[in-house]
Structure 1
Amino acid sequence: MSHNHNHSHDHHHHPVEGKNLLFSIVLNIVITVAQVIGGILSGSLALLSDALHNFSDVLSLVFSYVAHKLSRKKASNDQTFGYKRAELIAAFINAMTLIIVALFLVYGAVERFFNPQHIESGLVIWMSIIGIVANGLSVVMLKSDADKNLNMKSAYLHLFTDMMASIAVLIGGLLMKYFQWFWVDSLLTLIIAIYLIIVGFDLLKKSTQMLMLFTPSHLDINEIISEVHKISGVRKLHHIHLWYLNEEELHLEAHLDCSEDIKMSEFNELLDKVEHVLFEKFHINHINIQPEYKKEEESKDFIVQD
């Protein structure tokens, strides 16, 4: 069996420092505590919902930081893939947390809508300003890392949406202060909750697909087969499995039935051509091919349940 990681074709891995992420975690813990205290004192459910959102993002940042550290650990005899899938587990847990928090917020917002309460809008305004400034600082700090690493990009997007949520709370606080529209608090809570559900389900779907080793949704196996079959010397590509190990490593495992009984040195040349096509056209950077020639099998379907 020929097994090539195609390192010369791998995506370039840029060094990413975790210190900015760690600082953002500490900063967001401070924001969350301040917003919880402010939400309780002011009676603002929107501020409390933003605090819960921030807390869920603190967990997300912690998971991202831990995954960032684990991903650097080398593979061993006991962990042949290392800890490269730690980020997917973190994403799955983060998604579930987002959805659960959102459902609690929906319940609280509906209950508050029918039983409105007076809210200290001044405190809401100041707390939201603190959230905007602190989250904005975190966003600026992680921007450069977000351009280099998908894990950092997910953390960056969480912080960016936190900043936007704080802006929404600020607008609500101003409307309550000058127009006495206290129902806006419940409305903003519902909007934040709906957003969390949408983001949570999308993240849950993507992480589940990767954990279950599903074929990436943007790739068509039939198209991959068609391109490989155009290569001279290839008779049939079959027994195909295609999956993401993590967000950066896309793996393909298959049997390759050669059209002629060639030497292994000639197969290496054929494999180089296959690897080139798979990477250039489909960005598949880890390829595991088993060579065959007129091997009799019960089935040579493209997809086979092993």
Structure 2
Amino acid sequence: MGHNHNHDHGHHHHQVEGKNLLFSIFLNIVITVAQVIGGLISGSLALLSDALHNFSDVLSLVFSYVANKLAKKEASVNQTFGYKRAELIAAFVNAMTLIIVALFLVYGAIERFFNPEHIKSGLVIWLSLLGIVMNGLSVLLLKNDADKNLNMKSAYLHLFTDMLASVAVLVGGLLMKYFQWFWVDSVLTLAIAIYLFIVGYYLLKNSTQILMLFTPSHIDIKEIISEVHKIEGANKLHHIHVWYLNEEELHLEAHLDCSEDIKMSEFNEILHKIEHVLFDKFQINHINIQPEYKREEDSKDFIVQD
């Protein structure tokens, strides 16, 4: 059984800064408390909906922080992969919370649209400005990590949508203050909900694909087979599985029929060539291949349901 890990060739792990998350959690607690009080006093559903979204952010950020810490724990005999998939679970849960919050907002927006209320727009304007500043700061703190980590991406999207929601609430507050368009409150709430659905679906789709061990979208199994079959000594690659363990570890396991009855040292040379081809062309950095020679099986399909 050949088993190789390729961590070199320009592949570097990105270390996520947990302290940025902690600061973002603190900022969102401040925003949430202020917006709940302000929403109740002003009667603004958009402000309350923004507060609800901010509260979901606090929970999501805490979950992301814990998952980030767990992901760094060493593997053991009871957890042979460690907690490397903890951040994927956090991203999945965060995506679900975005969608659930969006459902609540849609219900509230429709109900308020048919039963509009007078809103104290001045308070709405000032609290939305507070939300823009604090969420904007949190977004800047997590921007770099979000580009390289799905868990941080989920936290970042929570905060970014909150910042956009605060901008929308600010616009609504100004329209209500100067034009008395109180129905704008419901329209903005609905717009926020639709945006949450979109980003929530994106996150849910990506995290589910990785958790279900689906073949990554950029991987073409048939192309992998074609490239491996070009290597001298490799006869037929089959029983192939390709999946992400986490966002940095792309795994392949397969069986390889060798063209000759070779020594293990000779197989190691073939495996070394396969390792380089798969990393250079497909960024696969964990390879586990079972060598075979004229092994009779009922099926030699390249994909087999074991």
**Range class of TM-score, shorter chain:** over 0.9
Bigger mean CA offset, 141-150 vs 29-38: 141-150
Instruction: Show the counterpart of 1:175.
Output: 175
* In structure 2, distance between residues paired with 1:105 and 1:15: 35
Letter in 2 for 1:41: I
Instruction: Show the counterpart of 1:138.
Output: 138
Q: Is this contact kept in 2: 1:6–1:275, CA < 8 A?
A: yes
Instruction: Show the counterpart of 1:122.
Output: 122
SS of the residue aligned with 1:7?
A: coil
Q: Is this contact kept in 2: 1:9–1:285, CA < 8 A?
A: no
Aligned-pair CA distance for 1:161 = 2.4
Q: Is this contact kept in 1: 2:149–2:247, CA < 8 A?
A: no
Seen in structure 2, the aligned counterparts of structure 1 residues 290 and 249 have a Cα distance that, compared at 3 Å, is same
* In structure 2, distance between residues paired with 1:84 and 1:70: 8
Q: Unmatched 5+ residue regions in structure 1? A: none
Give the alignment of 1:250-289 within 5 angstroms: 250-289=250-289
Aligned-pair CA distance for 1:149 = 4.2
Aligned-pair CA distance for 1:193 = 0.5
* In structure 1, distance between residues paired with 2:221 and 2:192: 38
Q: Unmatched 5+ residue regions in structure 2? A: none
Q: Is this contact kept in 2: 1:28–1:135, CA < 8 A?
A: yes
* In structure 2, distance between residues paired with 1:111 and 1:298: 62
Give the alignment of 1:29-48 within 5 angstroms: 29-48=29-48
Does residue 84 of structure 1 match 2:88? no
Bigger mean CA offset, 238-247 vs 159-168: 159-168
Bigger mean CA offset, 204-213 vs 171-180: 204-213
* In structure 1, distance between residues paired with 2:43 and 2:100: 22
With structure 2 as the length reference, what TM-score do the two structures score?
A: 0.95
Does residue 295 of structure 1 match 2:287? no
Bigger mean CA offset, 9-18 vs 40-49: 9-18
Bigger mean CA offset, 232-241 vs 52-61: 52-61
Q: What RMSD over aligned residues (CA atoms) do the two structures have, in Å?
A: 1.5
CA deviation vs aligned residue, 1:5-44 (integer Å, no higher than 9, x gap): 2232473013332111101111111111111111111111
Give the alignment of 1:1-306 within 5 angstroms: 1-9=1-9, 11-147=11-147, 149-306=149-306
Letter in 2 for 1:24: S
Residue correspondences, number: 306
Bigger mean CA offset, 222-231 vs 109-118: 222-231
Q: Is this contact kept in 2: 1:210–1:243, CA < 8 A?
A: yes
